[in-house]
């Protein structure tokens, strides 16, 4: 026989949360982002990475980047604005990741890049374009 809504959900007498399971912990809620029980009031903003890496046969391009910034512009009396003036990129695919320095991979192309003129815009343009060897389409 199917249970009624009032039989499936109850209000905890101790913490006041609406609970649907028998194994309730006071002041703990299930987080839809990290899929774990968390203290009530704490918020997660990012989901954790999966434990499994993509297969080597997958079309995956790993991209690592570093911004160099200047702090010449004042934001307030106590803070300055970080203005990117250079971004360096190192990339590799599953086929060339173990190569010491192959320079250019037939699958993912040139492994190192630097963007000077409009570093953030140039990086985004580079990342959004199709890459050599059909890594990204």
pLDDT for residue 31: 79
pLDDT at 12: 82
pLDDT at residue 5, rounded to an integer:
64
The pLDDT of residue 137: 37
Contact 12, 26 (CB under 8 A): yes
Strands 18-19 and 10-11: antiparallel
Per-residue confidence (pLDDT) for residue 119, from 0 to 100: 95
| Per-run averaged pLDDT (10 residues), the chain, 137 residues | 71 80 77 78 68 68 90 89 93 81 79 93 88 50
Q: What pLDDT score was predicted for residue 132?
A: 53
pTM exceeds 0.75 for this model: no
Rounded CA separation 119/52 (Å): 32
Rg (the chain; Cα; Å): 25
* Alpha carbons 2 and 8: distance in angstroms, whole number: 10
Which H helix or E strand runs over 112?
strand 112-115
Distance CA 108, CA 103 (A): 11
């Amino acid at each position: 026989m199917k249970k009624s809504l009032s039989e499936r959900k109850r209000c905890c007498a101790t913490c006041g949360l609406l609970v649907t399971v028998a194994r309730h912990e006071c002041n703990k809620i299930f987080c839809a982002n990290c899929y774990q029980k968390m203290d009530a009031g704490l918020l997660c903003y990012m989901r954790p990475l999966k434990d499994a890496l993509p297969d080597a046969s997958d079309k995956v391009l790993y991209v690592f980047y570093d911004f160099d910034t200047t702090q010449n512009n004042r934001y307030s009396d106590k803070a300055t604005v970080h203005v990117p003036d250079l971004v360096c990129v190192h990339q590799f695919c599953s086929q060339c990741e173990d190569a010491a320095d192959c320079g250019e991979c037939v699958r993912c192309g040139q492994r190192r890049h630097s963007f000077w003129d409009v570093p953030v815009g140039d990086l985004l343009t580079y990342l959004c374009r199709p890459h050599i060897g059909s890594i990204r389409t």
